Amino acid sequence: MTYVRSTDLLGELECRRLCLLWLVTGSRVDIAFAVTCCAKHSINPGMAHWYALLRILRYLEGTKGYRLDYRRKPRDVEFGCCAERVPDYQLNPQYLPQGENRTSDGSLHIYAHIDSDQARDLDTRRSVTACAIFGNSTLLSWKSKMQPAVAKSSMEAEYMALCYGTCEILGLNMTVTKSGYATQKSILVYEDNQSAIYFSRRNTDDAKTKHIDVTYHFVREQLVAGLITILKIPTKSNTADILTKPLSAEAHWRHSMSSLLVNIYPEDKGR
């Protein structure tokens, strides 16, 4: 690989990387995985990383009209707690607007998609954790990051991702309750690995799982406490998949639209 040695080029690359990280943090979940991969090589980048950044910028030029669409009332989705009759949170009536201007019933539906890609990093063989938390069918929080330890199996990688997602949900739960909402039922967490779901519901370990750090058993504690309920979801419907690895064009756009990225320039198809 040819490495970048020009000081001016290194400065420009660092500037563009920071701009892209700002976009990922604010609204563009669809480029989170690609930007994360480039950011790992920011200390000693090569020309391949420079070309990768330019490709991301070309993609953004074609999709500059896309943004997250937040709404008061949730839309019906195939997989998500919005299909449930009882909301996860209900706002205290004293905080609701009164009269004809009332546009919301104060209900808030929150659910999460969790995913992982085992041994994605070819240098360290660590897995990628992906977490996407939705509020009224729109993304509220998302994360794509390397796990702190090597996972020996896909089940272990998914279980570690479940722990991280549970921590995010716990923090969001504290914020929502402090805002005047009352909890109505547990938050639904969707996971596409059946083994990880089964293991999270067990209270015993065997010879193949006893090495898993006790830190990750935080998931079991929150299951017993009733904060979360873990359910199975097909991989093709798991929006967090876009945060774990490169996808085909069809899968990329399907997950991007499921996270409610709306094009404010309909004449620009972004493809």
Q: For 71-105, how does the pLDDT look when each residue is reduced to its tens digit (9 = 90+)?
A: 766 655 555 444 444 567 777 776 666 654 444 56
Q: Which amino acid is at 92?
A: N
User: Which residue numbers in the chain have pLDDT < 70?
Assistant: 1-13, 17, 72-87, 94-105, 207, 259-260, 264-271
Strands 187-191, 181-183: pairing is unpaired
pLDDT at 21: 85
* Distance in angstroms (rounded) separating the CA atoms of residues 69 and 92: 25
Quote the distance between the C-alpha of residue 35 and its chain's center: 14
Domain coordinates in residue numbering, the chain: 7-62, 75-262
**What pLDDT score does 83 carry?**
44
How close are the terminal C-alpha atoms of the chain, in Å? 30
Which CATH code is given to the segment(s) 75-262? Answer: 3.30.420.10
Q: How many CB atoms lie within 10 A of CB 106?
A: 18
The three state secondary structure string of 2-47 is CECCCHHHHHHHHHHHHHHHHHHHHCCHHHHHHHHHHHCCCCCCEH
